[in-house]
Structure formats: C-alpha cells, structure tokens
Amino acid sequence: MTDATVDNTGVVSVRGVRTLRVLVAGGGVLLYVGLYAYFIFVILGAEDGAVAEINSDLIYMASAIGGVLATFFAVTLGVRRKDPEVPEGGLNNLAMGATVAGGAGAKPGRAMSFVLTLGFWAYALVGVATIVVVYLYSDAAPDIVKGTATAFAGYLLAVLGSAFAPASSTP
C-alpha cells in the first residue's frame, strides 16, 4: 500500500497534505497574533519616553508572516494597482484560497476555509490594534510597529477609496 498517488495528468497526491496545509496556515496565523499581542504588551509596559525594546528576530518573524497575511487581505478585498497594461480581469483571476487549498480550481475544505477566514480577520484586528497603540503610545512604539500600522491604514484607505469610486464602464 502506498500513500502517494499520481493522477493521469502527472499530479502527485500525498495523504495528509491538506491537513499539513491547515496546520501550517493556522499555526502561522496564531503565531502572528501572539507575536503582535506580545509587541503591544511590551509597548504598553515601556517606560515613559523610551522606545520599547523588542527582539529583532521576533519582529522579522512577524513581518514575514504579516507579509503573507497582508497579501491575502489585499487580494481578498480586491485591492490592486490600476495598470493600463494589464487587461481587465488579468489580476482578478488570482485565487489565493484555491492556491492554498491545493491546485487550480480546488476549493478549500471546511478546516482551511476557517483558517483563511481566521487569517483575514486576525490581520484586520492586529492592524486596527497597532493603529490604536501607535496613536496612543507613539513614543514607545518601534518604527517597525509604526510601519505595520501605516501599511494597514493604507489598506483601509484603499478600501474606502474603492467603496466611493465610480463604477467602471465597459464600452
């Protein structure tokens, strides 16, 4: 008995890959939330006038995970750069959920769907929390946390702008 199979198109399937994707994605989301909760705790506990000291390796880890979540967040909301060189629908064909779920056209299972939703909302809540903390404790917030708040504020402005933008007309 083998745990790996190859279909007629040459795609290899290994048992447990979907479970691993769910665990890695879910673990990444939880780690991101945990790291930013720790950062906020450190910022709130910083002495008056001092910038909070946060381990640079933890900041790097949170930034890497945050980059993935930020991309997913933007794609999910449809935030994209207007490019006259890209035909309409070119960038709209991105399907982050299908990519994560495994293969073109694949639909995420219930567990992955939950993790994707959790990741979307976790990024949003961490973004709002960092905006609030940076606003209230600006002296104690390290520049990297200010950068996260600024990036999320940019996404919010893009969403706000797209909500009030006139609909594009097609000839």
Q: Each residue of 14-61: pLDDT tens digit?
A: 778 888 888 999 999 999 999 999 999 999 999 988 999 999 999 999
pTM (2 decimals)? 0.75
Domain count for the chain, please give it: 1
User: Rounded to an integer, what distance in angstroms lies between the CA atom of residue 19 and that of residue 91?
Assistant: 29
- Integer Cα distance of 56 and 101 in angstroms: 32
Alpha helix stretches (DSSP H) within 3-142: 17-44, 56-77, 96-101, 110-136
Q: Residue 107's beta-bridge partner residues?
A: none
Q: 59 in a domain, yes or no?
A: yes
Is residue 81 included in any domain, yes or no? Answer: yes
**3-state DSSP assignment of residue 6:** strand
User: If you average pLDDT over every residue of the chain, what do you get?
Assistant: 81
Domain range enclosing 109 = 15-161
pLDDT band with cut points at 50, 70 and 90 for residue 170: very low
* DSSP code for 91: G
* Residue 166 domain-assigned (yes or no): no
53: in domain = yes
Indicate whether 117 belongs to any domain.
yes
Task: For residues 21 and 81, give the distance between their C-alpha atoms in angstroms, rounded to a whole number.
Answer: 29
5 inside domain? no
Measured distance CA(134)–CA(100) in Å, rounded: 32
Check if the beta carbon of residue 115 is closer than 8 Å to that of residue 26: yes
Residue 126 token pair: 């961490």
CB atoms within 10 A of CB 34: 12
Whether 137 is in a domain gets the answer yes
| Bigger pLDDT: 135 vs 8 | 135
Q: Which range among 33-37, 60-64, 86-90, 161-165 shows the weakest confidence by mean pLDDT?
A: 86-90
Residue 27 lies in a domain: yes
Q: What is the pLDDT of residues 126-153, one digit of tens each?
A: 999 999 999 999 999 999 899 889 989 9
